[in-house]
Amino acid sequence: MITVDIDKNSGFCAGVIRAIGKAEEFLNDKDGSPKRLYSLGAIVHNDSELERLQKQGLVTIDNEDFEEMVNAEGEVLLIRAHGEPPQTYTRAESLGFSIIDCTCPVVLKLQQRIKEAYMAQAKEGSGQIIIFGKIGHAEVLGLIGQTDGTAIVVEDMRMMEQAVKEGSIRLDVSTEVFSQTTKSPAEYRSLCSRLEEMMARHNELSVERFKGKNLLKVHDTICSQVATRHERLSKFALEHDLIVFVAGKASSNGKVLCDLCKSMNIRTYHIDSPSEIKREWFRADDKVGVCGATSTPKWLLEETARHILELNRYVPEWEKTFGEKDADNQ
């Protein structure tokens, strides 16, 4: 008989919970008047959760909409947990928006650290800042914004090696490396070791002697919630016969975590919503694990588990396993 476990470590991270909480607090203000709250980009990469918030008055706009706006007097703009570059705040204020800033404190601290590194290098008159992150991602744009657009972004090892080859990353100047908060800790470690190796060789030093030169500073900036999730999720993926990974396909963190599950368990399926689940994925007696990204709501993981059991005609087991669906949680 099929059994289904929900990963208790999956679900929204603290930054997303905080942003949604602030949005709902504004939208459901006690005065009872209907409210409208603009969000620059999706507050969470999850369509079902977005629909729920839209019904309360959340309006998601993209950068193009924001650039085309001419007047937003009296309107309120929410800045997501990912954060934004300084120019966004300037433009929002000049349009007349009031701002609800939901930048995650962890991202905020990272922005400050990058800014400090950039200012120190500017004072010294040389140096470079490298960000390991996804090009075009809102958090990364916010980070580049702290360096007047000068930071070099690399998405992976191949891109970093290419940048070295082309000379856009130099091996002879003071270098500080930071990671987007949701990247893979293992990938970040290997990328930094490779860079250290290349810089040491370029400077004709052993790696050990190169370390003493302080030419390369690697900052540990991956969110601890994400880092611990990596370890626990690897274990969860190994302990189950099949993994159903629930996350919006646009979620950067979702892609990283789903790839991690796939590397541990080849029978991993990435879905946006339970309607994508296919009966033929399952075998009798499969121990199924349901998990998700930092943008996946708990209620959607529960709905997915229910759907799997229903598909496999074990509705009574669902009731025994999870109890009645919690209406407040919807």
- Contacting range for ligand SF4; rule: CB under 6 A; set: 12-20, 30-38, 188-196, 262-270: 12-20
Nearest to 54 by CA among 30, 37, 29, 72: 37
Q: How many residues bind ligand SF4 (CB under 6 A)?
A: 14
Residue type, 67: E
Q: Shortest approach of ligand SF4 to residue 262 CB, angstroms? A: 20
Q: Shortest approach of ligand SF4 to residue 220 CB, angstroms? A: 13
139 is catalytic: yes
Nearest to 189 by CA among 229, 153, 222: 222
**Closer CB to ligand SF4, 14 or 159, in the complex:** 14
Q: Shortest approach of ligand SF4 to residue 89 CB, angstroms? A: 18
Q: Shortest approach of ligand SF4 to residue 203 CB, angstroms? A: 34
Given 25, 68, 73, 139, which residue is catalytic?
A: 139
Q: Count Cβ atoms below 10 Å from residue 84 Cβ, excluding itself.
A: 25
- Residue 15 in contact with ligand SF4, rule: CB under 6 A: yes
d(CA 101, CA 62): 17
Chain positions 64 to 123 lying near ligand SF4, rule: CB under 6 A, are: 81, 104, 106-107
- Residue 225 in contact with ligand SF4, rule: CB under 6 A: yes
**Closer CB to ligand SF4, 80 or 306, in the complex:** 80
**Closer CB to ligand SF4, 3 or 225, in the complex:** 225
Q: Which of 294, 296, 304, 312 binds ligand SF4 (CB under 6 A)?
A: 294
- Residue 226 in contact with ligand SF4, rule: CB under 6 A: yes
**296's torsion region: left (phi>0), alpha (psi -120 to 50) or beta?**
beta
d(CA 258, CA 293): 8
Chain positions 174 to 213 lying near ligand SF4, rule: CB under 6 A, are: 181-182
Beta strand extents in the chain (DSSP E only):
3-6, 37-40, 58-61, 76-79, 98-101, 128-132, 152-154, 175-179, 216-218, 242-246, 268-271, 287-292
Query: Is 125 buried (19+), middle (13-18) or exposed (0-12) by CB count in 10 A?
Result: exposed
d(CA 248, CA 267): 19
**Closer CB to ligand SF4, 39 or 294, in the complex:** 294
Tokens encoding 70: 């001419």
Q: Shortest approach of ligand SF4 to residue 82 CB, angstroms? A: 7
Beta carbons of 139 and 180 less than 8 angstroms apart: yes
Site residues for ligand SF4 per CB under 6 A: 13-16, 81, 104, 106-107, 181-182, 223, 225-226, 294
Catalytic residue numbers? Answer: 139
